[in-house]
Structure 1
Amino acid sequence: MASSLISRRFALSLQTNLWLSAPGCRYVSKAAPKTQLEYDYDGPSMKTSVPGPRSQALTKQLGEIQNNLPFKPEMDSVTLVRSTSSVTMRRAEGTTWWTWTTTACWMSTLRSRPSQLSTLVNRPALGILPPENFPDKLTESLLSVSPSGMTRVQTMACGSCSNENAYKAMFIWYRNKERGHNMPSDEDVSTCMINKAPGCPDLSILSFNGGFHGRTMGCLATTHSKAIHKLDVPSFDWPMAPFPRLQYPLEEFTRENAQEEARCLEETEDVIVKWRQKGNPVAGIVIEPIQAEGGDNHASPDFFKGLRNIARKHGCAFHVDEVQTGGGATGKYWAHEHWGMDDPADIVSFSKKLLTGGYYHKDELQADKPYRIFNTWMGDPSKNLLLAEVLNVIRRENLLEEVTRSGKALLNGLYDLQAQYPGILSRARGQGTFCAIDICDDATRNSILLKARDKGVLLGGCGDRSIRFRPALIFKEYHVHIFLNIFNDVLAEHK
């Protein structure tokens, strides 16, 4: 039953299909060892031009009901998922895509057992009336993969509300420290009702250039990836520090990258001091282990260790945002595990691949009164059922080890293509299958994305001119080689 959550394996008949027979220079790639196949899958199937007429009609219909501006009709935008596969998508025209953009979610199903029906059909208000089995289900799912040093988890609905409430938890913790954990004063209580200090204190969250933490009001103040997210929306006066801009390949620029990270750490500490002096002290620091939306920007474990020490030194909570990186794509459940730290964070937020939102936190960041961290739903217990089954499959099939193997093959293949097309590609980088490569300019990137789409492969962009690769955890090495051949065909058309 759990195996239906994640599709098994692709058939190797892909190379005989029409979509792989387009003329062009082929990437020289040795097929990986073949494994027993449990069901047939014959690859992307392009039934119409993109967008197809059915998709255009459905997109228009939906646009008359709600905002559909984020949709991309050229991507055949209306999805009908008829498969349990997390690597393919069935579109409205009957087209089947091979998707390399699965960071955002799992597409999974669960055959309901009688004992699960109540959870699946009821959605309780978890903050006040959680179901009887909720503690057990949290233990089976989220707490079974909790980050080092954390035994508490607060569920939420999405990534933005996870970060928003994590920020609130950091502010509450910071003010309780300042009061010596005494009760709020009458002045605190009265002034907070009119948005004035000291009840609404002048505190801040420090974030990093290029970071993305969500689109709600507090999160937007810490998001610095694209102007479209922030334009016309008022923001808090909160500080921003530089994120390292590393040179690749890393082994050739060890000294330069160490200097760059040292510069960023020094500037970060200077910003914290400056904001305290101006009367707006930093209560917490938020950072992604890999800046995904901002361009797949990496930093070394030493950088994050240094940042953790700065947070301790200045009494700031340290919040690691794993909304995009959590869930196994880097070869570990949490990208920050690659830092090798026993005490990596005070708060770790999650969503997307974890199916539910929320954040792990240390005991001292537990809210001290009811309704301080609260909303109607505070998550959805049915998602914990799904997550528990997904985690069972990951463990049983050793998928994190699979990610490490296929990620190495993918990154090595990107290095080879980068050498073959130096005028187009640069800065190949990645951890596990969480990989990216830069394109020479934005126009070329958009053309490559469209041509890959026309061959049945969905890729995504990030940053100013990067393409990011987010294959499912079940991708094998031979899937990587098949993809590299397709990607080479696309690049050959731009040579």
Structure 2
Amino acid sequence: MLADYTRSFGNYIADPDGNKLLDVYAQIASIPLGYNNPALMKAAQSPEMVSAIINRPALGNFPSHDWANILETGILKVAPKGLSQVFTAMAGSDANETAYKAAFMWRRQRDRGGPAVEFTEDEMQSAMNNQAPGASQLSILSFKTAFHGRLFGSLSTTRSKPIHKLDIPAFDWPQATFPQLKYPLEDYAEENAKAEADSLAEVEDLIKNYHVPPCAVVVEPIQSEGGDNHASPEFFRGLRAITKKHGVLLIVDEVQTGVGATGRFWAHDHWGLPTPPDIVTFSKKAQTAGYYFGDPSLRPNRPYRQFNTWMGDPARALLFRAIIDEVQRLGLVERTAEVGDYLYGRLEALAAKYPGEFRNLRGKGMGTFIAFDSPRRDAFLAKAKRFGVNIGGSGQSAVRLRPMLIFEKQHADILLNAFEKIVTTWDQ
């Protein structure tokens, strides 16, 4: 779909023919405040932004004099609990890729006896030949139907669709089964609890016995590209306990779930963890990218170990700061939680009215991060445009809702009206 962004505004995306569609796909969940938001326009026109755009620095070598302040008043202002440091990046795949590198460096430093221990000559020479001991024989454990990006490391942990991975060499890294919950949850409590327990047992077995030992486990709070798959807070608390028990890092991939969409700023805030994740990656609605961490030993112990020319983008960090200010000023996270409850309740009624059309409705209590399965999913998505809605799918059969944080109850009513029209006009 070609879009005319000069005529797109708020929750609506326009095309060159003059059509305007309610956009609940939001550039694959990456637009936080709607199109042509006035507060972001103002930030984009500031002298600070102009300087950041035209003088884009190689941040690892020549950060601007105010870079620390930009981080402290923006990205670090909303750091997850217990994670006070950040490494900036350029995109979600990049955020995960650098987080994996940090995990490998951390583990090997620990094995050597600490960051002050020098590399051996054998390590340095073998690394140049992609061989051990310099190239570590370690892995990142991910889950089936996960999506973590399309670079080589992140793609090796992506398991959502074959088309993402075909023809690309991949690392021999382990995957565990993500719990496949049945809905409605209250009708399958015992079966779902067993599915989660079995998954956790598989994770622990892989950590202990996989032939390329995992140094970290990466997980999405809600598997997004893989079909909007959920698990309970108890499952994630169990995952945190297992990783702690075995000295393995827990990386939470909040690229798609972060920045308010679930009714909390970070989706993992729903879990009630006794200790925070080791690393949290972010991008999309933040309009910038990177990973948060707390343990100082996750910092690279030598210059240029974790490095590229840009290492992020000050212009995008400034944009995220403006997004944060607007989200907090308007209470948009709290509003998203309220609107999400309203939308979910109305969808429940619609599912009851049209049995079989809105299957496995999920995302209750998770803001507007809601999905359902459609028996004619691809036709559903295509037909939605006829009724003025731009929407996306995930997995094999899911219709996923990814409204912006400015989505309100009136927009929910418009959306639900379109849904009803879709399922009552299949033969038209």
Partner of 2:176: 241
Partner of 2:346: 413
Q: Percent identity?
A: 45
Distance in 2, matches of 1:220 and 1:384, equals 25
Partner of 2:166: 231
One-letter amino acid matched to 2:269: E
Partner of 1:191: 126
Distance in 2, matches of 1:347 and 1:143, equals 14
Which of these residues, 274, 284, 305, is aligned with residue 237 of structure 2?
A: 305
Count, aligned residues = 413
Query: Is structure 2 residue 135 aligned with structure 1 residue 200?
Result: yes
Task: Give the SS at the match of 2:370.
Answer: strand
Partner of 1:368: 301
Distance in 2, matches of 1:83 and 1:139, equals 34
Query: Is structure 2 residue 156 aligned with structure 1 residue 221?
Result: yes
Query: Is structure 2 residue 263 aligned with structure 1 residue 331?
Result: yes
Task: Give the SS at the match of 1:290.
Answer: coil
Partner of 1:10: none
Which of these residues, 36, 55, 58, is aligned with residue 125 of structure 1?
A: 58
Task: Give the SS at the match of 2:307.
Answer: coil
Cα–Cα, structure 1 residues 284 and 86, in superposed 2: closer, same or farther, change >3 Å?
farther
Query: Is structure 2 residue 314 aligned with structure 1 residue 314?
Result: no
Partner of 1:105: 31
Partner of 1:24: none
Query: Is structure 2 residue 286 aligned with structure 1 residue 354?
Result: yes
User: How far 1:342 moved relative to its partner?
Assistant: 4.5
Contact conserved, 1:88 with 1:96, CA < 8 A, in 2?
A: yes
- 1:43-442 matches, within 5 Å, as 77-83=1-7, 85-102=9-26, 103-106=29-32, 107=35, 108=37, 109-111=40-42, 112-181=45-114, 182-275=117-210, 278=211, 280-362=212-294, 363-430=296-363, 431-440=366-375
Partner of 1:467: 399
Output one character per residue of 1:176-235: Cα deviation in whole Å (capped at 9) or x when no partner: 011111211111111001111000021000000010000111111100000000011111
| TM-score between both structures, scaled by the size of structure 1 | 0.81
Cα–Cα, structure 1 residues 144 and 342, in superposed 2: closer, same or farther, change >3 Å?
farther
One-letter amino acid matched to 1:128: N
Contact conserved, 2:86 with 2:293, CA < 8 A, in 1?
A: yes
Contact conserved, 1:148 with 1:343, CA < 8 A, in 2?
A: no
Distance in 1, matches of 2:96 and 2:253, equals 8
Gap runs ≥5 in structure 2: none
User: How far 1:424 moved relative to its partner?
Assistant: 2.3
Distance in 2, matches of 1:391 and 1:85, equals 20
Output one character per residue of 1:395-450: Cα deviation in whole Å (capped at 9) or x when no partner: 1111111101110111112211211222222110111001100112xxx1111111
Distance in 1, matches of 2:11 and 2:410, equals 14
Distance in 2, matches of 1:435 and 1:191, equals 48
Task: Give the SS at the match of 1:285.
Answer: strand
Q: For the pair shown, which has the larger CA radius of gyration, 1 or 2?
A: 1
Task: Give the SS at the match of 1:110.
Answer: helix
Output one character per residue of 1:139-187: Cα deviation in whole Å (capped at 9) or x when no partner: 1111010011111001100001111111000000000011111211111
Distance in 1, matches of 2:31 and 2:60, equals 25
Distance in 2, matches of 1:407 and 1:466, equals 18
Distance in 1, matches of 2:125 and 2:101, equals 19
Output one character per residue of 1:42-68: Cα deviation in whole Å (capped at 9) or x when no partner: xxxxxxxxxxxxxxxxxxxxxxxxxxx
RMSD: 1.4
Distance in 2, matches of 1:313 and 1:139, equals 33
Cα–Cα, structure 1 residues 196 and 230, in superposed 2: closer, same or farther, change >3 Å?
same
Task: Give the SS at the match of 1:349.
Answer: strand
Distance in 2, matches of 1:493 and 1:242, equals 38
Gap runs ≥5 in structure 1: 1-76
Contact conserved, 1:148 with 1:342, CA < 8 A, in 2?
A: no
One-letter amino acid matched to 1:273: K
One-letter amino acid matched to 1:223: T
- 1:15-54 matches, within 5 Å, as none
One-letter amino acid matched to 2:14: R
Query: Is structure 2 residue 409 aligned with structure 1 residue 483?
Result: no
Cα–Cα, structure 1 residues 418 and 202, in superposed 2: closer, same or farther, change >3 Å?
same
One-letter amino acid matched to 2:328: R
